[in-house]
Structures are given as structure tokens and as C-alpha cells.
């Protein structure tokens, strides 16, 4: 996006587990100095670049978009919350003018009606948490004061070739230990409405790349989002 966001992520250390039959659960923790585990992280120059035989490498095609031929686009056709696609968006409508992988913005920006539908479903799933004022471009925020466990819905991206990407909480939530104004712990859905109504397309921001290794096979015309083998959160 044109309005590049330079936000520093002040992240809480959150402990994740999967609740039985429900979505993901986070627990606040004060252990903010804990560093990510790197024990299983292969060296950059050798194994990391070899994705052959890596079972969870699921490629989606890079598509060329006439309105931005120098950018990487993917064929995102749906977003599902807890396994159900947002309605009423058949793939053709969902695509709009395409979905760009945008390395300049932290957050993900969706065509306005698509974002509105996502927000509505997300709010239903998060109804038990008190809302918090908007933060930056993010208008779906929660006040997690006194909240020990946070139950988040599952969010999945579906692509035109049938592949899916289940988003980790780090990919779709933006957590802050202290709200800049009143100093309370909060978190926001790290998605917002694309600002330019005259040019509706979706932008996948860099936060959606967290916890994943992004494999660009440009010659092969494809990209993969591989769950990090380094335990990076």
C-alpha cells in the first residue's frame, strides 16, 4: 500500500494451545523475554532453501495482474471463519481485481464488502470480549484487561487451485501489551478495509507471513506458505 506502516510490534508472549473441538486459545504470559525456539531451524544456506520432500509445502500459483505486472499476486478466492466461507462471495466476486502480496504494509487490506463480512463473523466469534477503540487502521479491537485465556476463531485462506492456508493467531491478530492512550492490554484483528474504493483489490500484508516460511518459486510461477520449521512465532 502507499501508506506504508512503520509499526513496531510490541508483542506479548502468548501461549497457544488448541481447545478441544473449538478454536485456538491463547493465554497471556508475563514471560516476554522468552525467545523463540530455534532448535530445529536449519541453516539458511543449506536445508532452508530445499523444500523438495517437505510434506507441508503447498504451492499456489503466482498470477499476473495487468494492473500491477511487477507485483506478486495470488488467486485468493475465499476466507473461511471456523470452516465456513464468508458469504455472499463466490470466487469471482471475492477476487475483485486480485490479491497482491504486499511487502510494504504490515496489515492485510480487503475489498470493503469482504472486510465488512469478515469483521461481522469475527465479532460474532469474539462476542465475549469487550471491544476496544480502533488502533491505526484496525477497527476490530478488544480490551483484554483481566482476560487470561483468549479463544480465537480459526481463519483460513482458500486459493483458486484448492490449496488452503490456516492462519496462525500471529498472522491475523495484532497484540499490544499497552494501549498507547490508556495503557491496557489489547489485540486487534490485523485486517482492515482497503482504502481505495476506486481500485478494489486485496493486499496481503507482512503480518500474514509471520510463522511461515514463504517460498517464492518465481521461475515455476508459484509461491508456498510453509509453517516455520524454526518455531518462529
Ligand X SMILES: *[C@@H]1O[C@H](CO)[C@@H](O)[C@H](O)[C@H]1NC(C)=O
Residues of this chain that interact with ligand X (CB under 6 A) are 18, 21-23, 82-83, 96-97, 130, 132, 143, 145-146, 154, 182, 184, 198-200
Task: State the minimum distance, in angstroms, from the CB of residue 44 to ligand X.
Answer: 29
* Least Å from the CB of residue 131 to ligand X: 8
- Of 199 and 216, CB closest to ligand X: 199
- Could you give the strand order of the β-sheet that contains 149-152, starting from the edge strand earlier in sequence? 13-18, 24-29, 149-152
Q: How far is the CB of 225 from ligand X (least distance, A)?
A: 16
Nearer to ligand X, 39 or 198 (CB): 198
Taking the least distance from each CB to ligand X, the nearer of 1 and 222 is 1
Question: Which cell is 24 given?
Answer: 485456538
The DSSP line for the chain is --S---------EEEEEE-TTS-EEEEEES-TTPPPP-TTPPPTTTGGG--TT-TT--EEEEE--TT-TTS-EE-EEEEEETTEE-TT--HHHHHTT-EEE-TT-SSEEE-HHHHHHHHHHHHHHTTTSPEE--BTTB--EEE-TT--EEEE--EEEEETTS-EEEPPHHHHEEEESS-TTT---EEEESEEE-S-TTS--EEE-GGGGTTEEEEEETTTTEEEEEEPTT---
Minimum distance of ligand X from residue 63's CB (angstroms): 14
Phi, psi of 120 (to 5 degrees): -60, -45
Shorter beta-carbon distance to ligand X: residue 53 or 83 = 83
As measured in angstroms, the least distance from the Cβ of 48 to ligand X is: 25
Which residue number, 86 or 222, has a Cβ lying nearer to ligand X?
A: 86
- Give the nearest distance from C-beta 145 to ligand X in angstroms: 4
Q: Name the residue nearer to ligand X (CB basis): 160 or 200.
A: 200
Amino acid at each position: 500500500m502507499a501508506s506504508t506502516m512503520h509499526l513496531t510490534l510490541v508483542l506479548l508472549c502468548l501461549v497457544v494451545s488448541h481447545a478441544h473441538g473449538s478454536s485456538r486459545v491463547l493465554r497471556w504470559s508475563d514471560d516476554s523475554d522468552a525467545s523463540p525456539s530455534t532448535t530445529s531451524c536449519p541453516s539458511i544456506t543449506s536445508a532452508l532453501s530445499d523444500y523438495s520432500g517437505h510434506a507441508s509445502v503447498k504451492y499456489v500459483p503466482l498470477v499476473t495482474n495487468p494492473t500491477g505486472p511487477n507485483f506478486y499476486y495470488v488467486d485468493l478466492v475465499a476466507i473461511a471463519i471456523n470452516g465456513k466461507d464468508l458469504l455472499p462471495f463466490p470466487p469471482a466476486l471475492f477476487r475483485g481485481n486480485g490479491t497482491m502480496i504486499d511487502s510494504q504494509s504490515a496489515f492485510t487490506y480487503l475489498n470493503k464488502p469482504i472486510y465488512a463480512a469478515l469483521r461481522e463473523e469475527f465479532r460474532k466469534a469474539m462476542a465475549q470480549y469487550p471491544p476496544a477503540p480502533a488502533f491505526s487502521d484496525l477497527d476490530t479491537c478488544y480490551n483484554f484487561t483481566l482476560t487470561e485465556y483468549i479463544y480465537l476463531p480459526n481463519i483460513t485462506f482458500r486459493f483458486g487451485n484448492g490449496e488452503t492456508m490456516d492462519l496462525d493467531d500471529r498472522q491475523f491478530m495484532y497484540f499490544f501489551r499497552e494501549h498507547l492512550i490508556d495503557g491496557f492490554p489489547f489485540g486487534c484483528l490485523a485486517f482492515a478495509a482497503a482504502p481505495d474504493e476506486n481500485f478494489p483489490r486485496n493486499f496481503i500484508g507482512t503480518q500474514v507471513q509471520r510463522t511461515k516460511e514463504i517460498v517464492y518459486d518465481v521461475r515455476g510461477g508459484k509461491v508456498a506458505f510453509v509453517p516455520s520449521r524454526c518455531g518462529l512465532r
